[in-house]
A and B are shown apart, each in its own frame.
Chain A
Amino acid sequence: TQLLEQSPQFLSIQEGENLTVYCNSSSVFSSLQWYRQEPGEGPVLLVTVVTGGEVKKLKRLTFQFGDARKDSSLHITAAQTGDTGLYLCAAFTGTASKLTFGTGTRLQVTL
């Protein structure tokens, strides 16, 4: 059983469209992170959310942490081809530094 389930698994959209990616769990987390991974590279941290209900914006990306701190969403407004990549949510579990990653959402944005 995966601790962090992401949906959808795959998403193919055209430039200019909006999209939302979800990260769900039955566990409560003290914090949650979102990473983006481009082909041939390692994941890069986008944001860390800590407080239940917290909303953070990073240009066209909006991140929300659920009130109960069990889930999170990533919304992209007016997607661009540069947004193409694998989006991973991750949470610290067990020992303080141990990061568990979600199943991932692979996004393809075309012209």
Chain B
Amino acid sequence: DAGVIQSPRHEVTEMGQEVTLRCKPISGHNSLFWYRQTMMRGLELLIYFNNNVPIDDSGMPEDRFSAKMPNASFSTLKIQPSEPRDSAVYFCASSPGISSGTDTQYFGPGTRLTVL
């Protein structure tokens, strides 16, 4: 069974451009998470969805960031306009969403974003 799929794996863009990151969660999983990882701040939760509904977006840094989950098998994280400080590795993760407090989150390979 395929794990979490993310695309692209690498993205290099110029400041001001729009960036869209994509994620396909594991089939049957009810929860989807977007994280950002940097050396300075570590791994931070940006937003998570349960049954395609955003539950907690308190980690989204500012209005330039938006996330959608139009169906159970697809989610996007969009940055518009992008800035150099957005450079990071962005991870998508999914979990069965069955047992709160002990659920396993399965991470994708990440998208390394560089904003010049």
Contacts of A41 in B (CB 8 A): 107, 109-110
| Residues 86-111 of B contacting A (Cβ, < 8 Å) | 91, 93, 95, 97, 100-110
Q: Which of A31, A48, A98 contacts B56 (CB 8 A)?
A: A98
A14 to B76, CA, bound (A): 42
Q: Does A99 contact B (CB under 8 A)?
A: yes
For B31, B95, B105, B108, which residue has the most chain A Cβ atoms within 10 angstroms? Answer: B105
Tell me which of B42, B100, B110 contacts A97 (CB under 8 A). B100
**Does A82 make an interface contact (CB < 8 A)?**
no
Q: Which residue of A lies closest to B9 (CB)?
A: A40
Is the C-beta of A30 less than 8 angstroms from some C-beta in chain B? yes
User: How many residues of chain B are within 8 Å of chain A by beta carbon?
Assistant: 26
A71 to chain B, nearest CB (A): 17
Whether B50 contacts A97 by the Cβ 8 Å rule is yes
In this complex, the member of B31, B45, B95, B109 whose beta carbon has the largest number of chain A beta carbons within 10 angstroms is: B45
CA A100 – CA B33 in complex, angstroms?
A: 12
In B33-64, the 8 Å CB interface with A consists of 33, 42-45, 48, 50, 55-56
Establish whether residues A45 and B101, one from each chain, have CB atoms under 8 Å apart when the complex forms.
no
A–B pairs, 18, beta carbons within 8 Å? A30-B101, A31-B102, A40-B109, A41-B109, A42-B93, A42-B107, A42-B109, A45-B104, A48-B104, A50-B101, A88-B43, A96-B101, A97-B97, A98-B45, A98-B48, A99-B33, A101-B44, A104-B42
Query: Which 9 pairs of residues, A with B, have the shortest CB-CB distance?
Result: A42-B107, A96-B100, A101-B43, A31-B101, A45-B104, A30-B101, A92-B101, A48-B102, A42-B91
